[in-house]
Amino acid sequence: MGISSIKKGDKIVIIGGGFAGLQLAKTLTKAEVNVVLVDKQNHHQFQPLFYQVASGRLEPSSISFPFRKIFQKNKNIDFRMADIVKIIPEENKLMTAYDRSVSYDHLVIATGCKTNFFGNKEMSENAFSMKTTQESIDIRNKVLFSFEKEIFARPEEKQAWMNIIIVGGGPTGVELSGAFAELKNDIIPKDYHNIDVSKFNIILLEGSENTLNNMSEASRKASREYLEELGVIVKTNTIIKSFDGNTATLSTGEEIPTKNVIWAAGVTGNIIEGLKPEHIIRNRYKVDRYNKLEGYDNIYALGDIAVMETPNYPQGHPQVANVAINQAKNLGKNIIKVHKSKPLTEYEYKDLGMMATVGKHKAVVELPFMKLKGPIAWYIWMFLHLMLILSVRNKLVIFFNWGWSYFTRDTSLRIITNIEYKKEKVTDF
């Protein structure tokens, strides 16, 4: 059973169009199966560059790719825009939020992760997360609006608009902190002549001893030095206890007035109702070496939502794009091999390294054969991320924006498109 039961002409439904779901669909474009990709959004979102949308460096369209455009030449790939809320495995059926159904012969779950607030309801209601393009736009709008609001604010309220707290010192938190620091140093002084930029504080909170805790000691040290050179206030061994929308209280007892808290401290799997709980580990689906879900013959899981225990990774693989993309490639190739009566290949993770950027000429890169920091690492980071962008047009747009920013230390992407937020309804001045 499992992959060997996937016959020519079968309908394979993929839930989620992130790195894993998109890659599987692309791998199957010439396979003799019918693929239906289902996602809440009508476009693929390039998550590694969300922070550049949030800081006004890139337009959302630069890192968003409509699924129907991607697959317009592939007759065996179809798309459905829907929010799947339940799986009914006994009937090979999915239910959407609008009580519509989608049938399947084989199902692939690639729903990825969502923000994990660790049960802190107050934080989930008042802090921003950054897991979608829209959330990145919301952050950009709110931060830019904060400068406008500061000008009219009462003296006792001004500092709250000028403090940005970023929770989590992993790659997302570090990259976002660095981007906002460059905004403070290079752009805000030119745009806002009547604001005391020295009072604009970017505060990065990390619960452990270091930023970039999953990287080497040299990279951890370099990332903190880069952040502090740019003016970021880095507080390690510190967590945020509460945030009511106006004041953040830290584990040290310190209270910081702020209107802007961005949560980048953790993720949890996007589990869908309907499957057996005994096959879910740490909010992820347990799969075998072919990504088949335990307990089911026609359901698979890929990427962040899957736990594959191997001798080298007994606790499962890291939740990174490389794992998602290559698990999807492996599953897609195995499906094609079944139709050609070729032996299947078990998935094995090959660690290609880690990287993070803090600002211009400030980055750390750890490859299997070497570790780099500084300008060379920064150029490598830019090149690799540019190569991962899907279309040539978007590559050129991003390259142009990066080049313009590099030489001018400026961007023109500071339009506030919406001043009504899910976290706070902004009224008249």
Give pLDDT tens digits for 70-94: 999 999 999 999 999 999 999 999 9
Token pair for residue 108? 């692939």
Predicted confidence (pLDDT) at residue 413 exceeds the cutoff of 80: no
Nearby residues of 364 by Cβ (< 8 Å), 6 or more positions away: 212, 215, 218, 219, 222, 223, 355, 356, 371, 372, 373, 377
Indicate the domain borders of the chain. 2-115+268-339, 121-265
**Letter string b/e over residues 9-30, b meaning 16 or more CB atoms within 10 A of that residue's CB:** ebbbbbbbbbbbbbbbbbbbee
Question: What's the rounded mean pLDDT across residues 344-364?
Answer: 93
The owner of tokens 């920091």 is 373
The confidence score (pLDDT) of residue 408 equals: 87
The confidence score (pLDDT) of residue 5 equals: 86
The CA-atom distances, in angstroms, between 96 and each of 3, 99, 105, 115, 378 are: 26, 5, 17, 22, 43
Domains 2-115+268-339 and 121-265 share a fold: yes
Predicted confidence (pLDDT) at residue 429 exceeds the cutoff of 70: no
pLDDT interval class at 390 (50, 70, 90): confident
pLDDT interval class at 420 (50, 70, 90): low
The confidence score (pLDDT) of residue 426 equals: 43
Which ranges of 127-216 does DSSP label H, i.e. alpha helix?
A: 133-152, 158-162, 171-182, 188-191
Predicted confidence (pLDDT) at residue 46 exceeds the cutoff of 70: yes
Domain at 2-115+268-339, CATH from 3.50.50.60, 3.90.550.10, 3.40.50.1100, 3.40.50.800: 3.50.50.60
The confidence score (pLDDT) of residue 404 equals: 86
Q: Looking at 49-53, 299-303, 422-426, which range is the least confident one?
A: 422-426
Predicted confidence (pLDDT) at residue 425 exceeds the cutoff of 90: no
Predicted confidence (pLDDT) at residue 55 exceeds the cutoff of 50: yes
Predicted confidence (pLDDT) at residue 422 exceeds the cutoff of 90: no
Predicted confidence (pLDDT) at residue 419 exceeds the cutoff of 80: no
Domain 121-265 has CATH 2.60.120.460: no
